[in-house]
Homo-oligomer: A and B are copies of this chain.
């Protein structure tokens, strides 16, 4: 469970994003059981209600499903899973392009920056006001 919570964004949003990443990379497999609400809350030191809110929303989005009162599981719908990855990529690309265009960074400059920083250890990186 390698998730860092920031204090900017709503916690339940960050939890959902974390699961989307795990699903997109295949770390969480179709049909796989996930932590219960209480278990997740314990691990992340968050409130069980917040965990419940995240799971409820993921259920509404079809990312997970629940049968009876068994622990929830990752969807088996491959279409949804594929869509999750594409959605995350598209969002990242669009956000990045909007950011650099707003300050007149050229395509060449942007590509150079990505190449230069891609292999850096994140701990060496600065930024994020």
Interface residues, chain A, with chain B CB atoms under 8 Å away = 21, 24-25, 85, 87-105, 107, 110-111, 113-115, 117-119, 122, 125-129
| CB-based contact B103/A118 at 8 Å | no
Which B residues are in CB contact (< 8 Å) with A107?
Answer: 114-115, 118-119
Oligomeric state, in number of copies?
Answer: 2
User: Nearest-CB distance from A70 to chain B (Å)?
Assistant: 28
- 27 A-B pairs with CB atoms under 8 Å apart are A21-B102, A25-B103, A87-B127, A88-B99, A89-B100, A90-B127, A91-B127, A92-B96, A92-B100, A93-B96, A93-B113, A94-B126, A94-B127, A95-B95, A95-B96, A95-B128, A96-B96, A96-B114, A97-B114, A97-B117, A98-B122, A101-B118, A107-B119, A110-B114, A110-B118, A111-B111, A111-B114
Which B residues are in CB contact (< 8 Å) with A97?
Answer: 114, 117-118
Partner of A94, one of B89, B93, B117, B119: B117
